[in-house]
Amino acid sequence: MADPFHLPGLLQGWWRTANYQPFREGVDICPLNEGNPGVALLRYAPQAGVPRHLHTGLEMILVLEGTQSDERGDYPAGSLVLNPEGTAHSVWSDEGCVVLIQWERPVAFLPDAQD
């Protein structure tokens, strides 16, 4: 069994100095728990996004800074977003943002033509 994980100062801006690595073009990741469930910080550059994908398990997003958007709306800092299993969307940030994300299982990326 893994040891408990404690991250003091997260809401006070710890994510600004976290160790990020490239994830997708314009989006960096700082893994906090690898495997399933996965937990990470995602940092979106302005105008960056993640293509349309299907959630194969529950995904939880807490927007820490900036605004994250999808086809359903805009989610400013402090927003909690739950994407249930079976839902699909694409994600972007016009101004850039940082989110804390937890997912039960990896997403499945969808072809551009699929709704």
CA 88 to chain centre: 14
47-83 per-position pLDDT tens digit: 999 999 999 999 999 999 999 999 999 999 999 999 9
3-class secondary structure, 11:
helix
**Cβ proximity of 42 and 99 under 8 Å:** yes
Model confidence at 1, in pLDDT bands (50, 70, 90)?
A: very low
Q: What is the rounded CA–CA span in Å between residue 47 and residue 27?
A: 10
Q: Set out the domains of the chain in order of their start, with CATH numbers.
A: 21-106 (2.60.120.10)
Beta strand pairing status for 108-109 and 48-54? antiparallel
Report field, pTM of the whole predicted structure over 0.95: no
DSSP for 38-63?
A: EEEEEEEPTTEEEEEEE-SS-EEEEE
Query: For all residues of the chain together, what is the average pLDDT?
Result: 92
Q: What is the rounded CA–CA span in Å between residue 67 and residue 92?
A: 9
DSSP character at residue 85: T
